[in-house]
Amino acid sequence: QLQLVESGGGLVQPGGSLRLSCAASGVTLDSYAIAWFRQAPGKEREGVSCISGSGSSRYYADSVKGRFTISRDNAKNTVYLQMNSLKPDDTAVYYCAADSNYYFCSDYVRKSYTYWGQGTQVTVSS
Encode pLDDT of 108-119 as tens digits: 999 999 999 999
How many whole angstroms separate alpha carbon 73 and alpha carbon 75?
5
Mind listing the pLDDT tens digit for each residue in 9-59? 999 999 999 999 999 998 888 889 999 999 999 999 999 999 999 999 999
- Residue 64's pLDDT band, with cuts at 50, 70 and 90, is very high
Q: Looking at residue 20, what is its pLDDT?
A: 98
Q: Looking at residue 26, what is its pLDDT?
A: 87
Question: Do 91 and 123 touch, CB atoms closer than 8 A?
Answer: yes
Buried-exposed string 104-123: b where 16+ CB fall within 10 A, e elsewhere: ebeebeeeebebbbebbebe
**pLDDT beyond 90 at 93:** yes
